[in-house]
């Protein structure tokens, strides 16, 4: 049997007319020939609502006795036996009288839906469970009857029943909602204009989020890739540089100009994990965008402009905010840059804003060479082989074996380029290929001691030499980097195995674990900090090394653990790929701290139990002596 469909009339405030709207819908369905019955509707003695019940079939209610009074509730069995096409059930958040079939009315509605009966129901925005604290802070009234948000979100249709605060207060003054003796008290308390305006805004925002979820689901099901500007969504492209804070604040101001604007900050890292971004700066920017009401996203992609555009179209963004490039003028010779590429490929449906900042044009600094991952010693030997090797080989060939032949000379120089690649990576190998080609041309290609080449075949041979040298150097460098990544992953697996073994079995103390963190990442000091609340001062739960941090802001690297704990490290800034393992260490440090405190509590409880046992034995002995004649 197919599950029934749920339609909900969501009221912005009591008295806006959601029950009246539900009954009007019932009359329209009956006129169309739909089998529609009233399972439970409470008219609260409102004349116009009571009139709307005329002409609609009503199922009998169930009477229940509670505290010497008789109450009526919806008779679920009667509705199931009648099995209409549509059942009207008012006040979805209502709590049933003790002794009823279910505790909540929404649970009764779930039974009707499971039986294949369509249900039309009502609920006010203040009865949603997630908004209880917000409504209490606005109105000063705690809502005791609530319904889980997920129950309302699962509804097939949600219709907002809204009314301006002035019109609602007029209805109240005319006696259309409460009896005359309650009107003045209601108008001066719950139904104040400020309260009604705030509740109305809550309802509009909640429904807007639900509509947005429907839109996202529709776009996904129908594979809609074009941007629909139904809501302003601003994507901020971050590079990890200090200009990110300026971009986030500017994007927030842009979002505030339009109703319901949303800011999404995104940082795109390479898939190989090689990045020059500061993890600490990214953490600061993440906190800033979340404090301003936005969200932070970390995306992996080798082509940054394409990844940024794909992310923007995926979230149905309408604007992209980027900073003016920090590159110097001569660096534009290598390409137009991310901002220009995104603006060119964005299309007519996506606006791109380039924001000026203080770091524009100052340069990004020297990029970290990939070969630097091989270590300082290998890098030095690689450059010696790449620059000094061809010179030494030229001297040997000219002095010892001048008649080896051009082909053999090229093979020897190619071997030197491969050696430079094995030692130092790509850049020393490219330097070796360039130096080798010049030396081959000058000393070994006729006419010698000139850069001209007489035989065209020699031109082809040198070109092939350069191409093969560069290709071999690239392959060797790629293999070296993959070896480095494999070693890194092997080290990570060993560390995680250590955490899953010793720590979870309780074989490692907190200080030993923190010392392992300091040893693994080569830091000066490591401290586990905690505080009782967001405004309470930080205290140190455990630390190793000299001069540990007292607050996370003073650390070179800090990893938050929950809301009130953080692992703070000093010594150097760690690359982004190290934070994954560091986060695992931080989580396990909290586990060890909790285990230590639980053990201390158990020891204290054991000592108290021993003391109680001794006192009980002593009292038993004394009472026995007192009872003895």
Predicted pLDDT at 7: 94
Cβ distance 262 to 235 under 8 Å? no
Cβ distance 565 to 528 under 8 Å? yes
More confident residue, 29 or 373: 29
Predicted pLDDT at 501: 65
Q: Is the pLDDT of residue 368 over 80?
A: no
More confident residue, 100 or 587: 100
Predicted pLDDT at 478: 73
pLDDT grade, residue 119 (50/70/90)?
very high
- Residue 564, helix vs strand vs coil: coil
CATH number of 233-355: 3.40.50.620
pLDDT grade, residue 365 (50/70/90)?
very low
Highest mean pLDDT among 8-17, 196-205, 519-528: 8-17
Predicted pLDDT at 193: 87
Cβ distance 160 to 204 under 8 Å? yes
For residue range 396-448, list pLDDT tens digits in order.
887 776 677 777 777 788 888 888 877 777 788 788 888 888 887 787 777 77
Residue range 306-324: average pLDDT? 86
Cβ distance 7 to 18 under 8 Å? no
φ and ψ at residue 199, rounded to 5 degrees: -65, -40
Highest mean pLDDT among 111-115, 219-223, 472-476: 111-115
Q: Is the pLDDT of residue 379 over 90?
A: no
Assign a CATH topology to domain 508-603. Beta-Lactamase (3.30.450)
**Scanning the structure block, which residue is given the tokens 């393992």?**
581
pLDDT grade, residue 5 (50/70/90)?
very high
pLDDT > 90 in the chain, percent: 15
pLDDT grade, residue 463 (50/70/90)?
confident
Q: Is the pLDDT of residue 269 over 80?
A: no
Cα–Cα distance for residue pair 418/99, rounded to 1 Å: 85
Q: Is the pLDDT of residue 576 over 70?
A: no
pLDDT grade, residue 570 (50/70/90)?
confident
pLDDT > 70 in the chain, percent: 79
pLDDT grade, residue 282 (50/70/90)?
confident
pLDDT grade, residue 369 (50/70/90)?
very low
Residues of CATH 3.40.50.620 domain(s) within the chain? 233-355
- Residue 34, helix vs strand vs coil: coil
- Kindly report the average pLDDT of the chain as a whole number: 79
Residue range 192-201: average pLDDT? 87
Predicted pLDDT at 579: 67
Radius of gyration of the chain (CA): 37
CB atoms within 10 A of CB 425: 28
Q: Is the pLDDT of residue 626 over 90?
A: no
pLDDT grade, residue 621 (50/70/90)?
low
pLDDT grade, residue 298 (50/70/90)?
confident
For residue range 159-194, list pLDDT tens digits in order.
999 888 888 888 888 777 877 778 878 888 888 888
pLDDT grade, residue 372 (50/70/90)?
very low
Helices and strands (DSSP H and E) totals, the chain: 20, 17
Q: Is the pLDDT of residue 534 over 90?
A: no
Predicted pLDDT at 370: 44
Predicted pLDDT at 305: 87
Cα–Cα distance for residue pair 308/441, rounded to 1 Å: 46
Cβ distance 353 to 320 under 8 Å? yes
Q: Give me the helix-helix angle, 193-221 and 165-173, nearest 10°.
A: 130
Predicted pLDDT at 559: 80
pLDDT grade, residue 627 (50/70/90)?
low
Cα–Cα distance for residue pair 211/224, rounded to 1 Å: 17
Residue range 271-282: average pLDDT? 61
Residue range 216-245: average pLDDT? 72
Residues of CATH 3.40.50.300 domain(s) within the chain? 6-221
Q: Is the pLDDT of residue 129 over 60?
A: yes
Token pair of 159, please? 């219709």
Residues of CATH 3.30.450.40 domain(s) within the chain? 508-603
Residue range 379-383: average pLDDT? 81
Residue range 112-128: average pLDDT? 93
Q: Which residues contact 600 (CB under 8 A, 6 or more apart)?
A: none
Q: Is the pLDDT of residue 107 over 80?
A: yes
What residue ranges in 467-556 does DSSP mark as E strands? Answer: 525-530, 539-544
Predicted pLDDT at 118: 95
Among 7-11, 230-234, 372-376, the least confident range: 372-376
Q: Is the pLDDT of residue 121 over 80?
A: yes
Predicted pLDDT at 231: 66
For residue range 59-90, list pLDDT tens digits in order.
998 888 888 888 889 999 999 999 999 999 99
Predicted pLDDT at 485: 65
pLDDT grade, residue 500 (50/70/90)?
low
Q: With the C-alpha atoms ordered 516, 517, 519, 523, is the resulting torsion angle positive or negative? A: negative
Q: What is the DSSP secondary structure assignment for residue 578, as one 8-state letter?
A: G
Predicted pLDDT at 490: 67
Cβ distance 405 to 425 under 8 Å? no
Cβ distance 153 to 123 under 8 Å? no
Q: Does domain 6-221 have CATH number 1.20.1530.20?
A: no
More confident residue, 481 or 551: 551
């Amino acid at each position: 049997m197919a599950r029934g469909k749920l339609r909900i009339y969501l009221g912005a405030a009591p008295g806006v007319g959601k029950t009246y709207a539900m009954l009007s819908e019932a009359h329209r369905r009956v006129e169309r020939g739909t089998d529609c019955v009233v399972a439970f509707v409470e008219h609260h003695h409102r004349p116009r609502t009571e009139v709307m019940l005329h002409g609609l079939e009503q199922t009998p209610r169930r009477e229940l006795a509670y505290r010497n009074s008789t109450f009526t509730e919806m008779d679920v069995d009667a509705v199931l036996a009648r099995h209409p096409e549509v059942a009207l059930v008012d006040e979805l958040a209502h709590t049933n009288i003790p002794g009823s079939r279910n505790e909540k009315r929404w649970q009764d509605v779930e039974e009707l839906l499971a039986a294949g009966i369509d249900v039309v129901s009502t609920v006010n925005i203040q009865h949603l469970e997630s908004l209880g604290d917000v409504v209490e802070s606005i109105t000063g009234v705690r809502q005791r009857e609530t319904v889980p948000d997920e129950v309302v979100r699962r509804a097939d249709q949600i219709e907002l029943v809204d009314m301006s605060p002035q019109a609602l207060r007029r209805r109240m003054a005319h006696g259309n909602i409460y009896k005359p003796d309650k009107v003045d008290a209601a108008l001066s308390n719950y139904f104040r204009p400020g309260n009604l305006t705030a509740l109305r805004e809550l309802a509009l925002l909640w429904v807007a989020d639900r509509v947005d979820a429907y839109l996202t689901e529709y776009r996904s099901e129908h594979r809609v890739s074009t941007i629909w500007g139904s809501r302003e969504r601003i994507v901020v492209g971050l590079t990890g540089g200090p200009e990110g804070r300026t971009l986030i604040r500017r994007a927030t101001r842009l979002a505030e100009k339009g109703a319901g604007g949303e800011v999404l900050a995104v940082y795109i890292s390479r898939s190989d994990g090689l990045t020059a971004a500061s993890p600490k700066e990214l953490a600061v920017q993440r906190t800033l965008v979340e404090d301003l009401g936005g969200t932070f996203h970390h995306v992996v992609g080798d082509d940054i402009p394409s990844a940024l555009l794909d992310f923007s179209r995926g979230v149905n963004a309408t604007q992209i905010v980027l900073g003016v490039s920090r590159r110097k003028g001569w660096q534009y010779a290598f390409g137009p840059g991310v901002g220009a590429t995104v603006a060119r490929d964005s299309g007519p449906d996506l606006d791109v804003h380039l924001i000026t900042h203080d770091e524009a044009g100052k340069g990004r600094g020297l990029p970290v060479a990939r070969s630097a991952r091989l270590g300082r010693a290998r890098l030095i030997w690689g450059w010696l082989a790449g620059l000094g090797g061809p010179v030494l080989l030229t001297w040997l060939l000219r002095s010892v074996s001048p008649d080896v032949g051009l082909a053999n000379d090229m093979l020897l120089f190619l071997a030197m380029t491969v050696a430079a690649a094995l030692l130092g990576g790509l850049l020393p190998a490219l330097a070796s290929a360039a130096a080798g080609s010049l030396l081959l041309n000058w000393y070994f290609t006729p006419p010698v001691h000139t850069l001209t080449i007489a035989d065209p075949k020699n031109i082809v041979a040198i070109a092939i030499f350069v191409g093969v040298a560069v290709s071999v150097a690239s392959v060797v460098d790629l293999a070296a980097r993959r070896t480095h990544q494999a070693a890194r992953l092997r080290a990570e697996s060993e560390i995680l195995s250590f955490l899953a073994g010793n720590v979870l079995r309780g074989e490692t103390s907190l200080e030993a674990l923190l010392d392992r963190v300091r040893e693994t990442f080569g830091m000066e000091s490591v401290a586990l900090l905690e505080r009782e609340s967001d405004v309470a001062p930080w205290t140190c739960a455990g630390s190793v090394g000299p001069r540990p941090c007292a607050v996370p802001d003073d650390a070179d690297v800090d990893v938050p653990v929950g809301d009130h704990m953080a692992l703070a490290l000093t010594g150097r800034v760690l690359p982004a790929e190290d934070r994954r393992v560091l986060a695992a260490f931080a989580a396990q440090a909290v586990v060890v701290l909790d285990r230590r405190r639980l053990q201390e509590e158990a020891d204290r409880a054991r000592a108290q139990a021993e003391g109680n046992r001794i006192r009980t034995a002593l009292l038993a002995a004394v009472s026995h002596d007192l009872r003895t004649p």
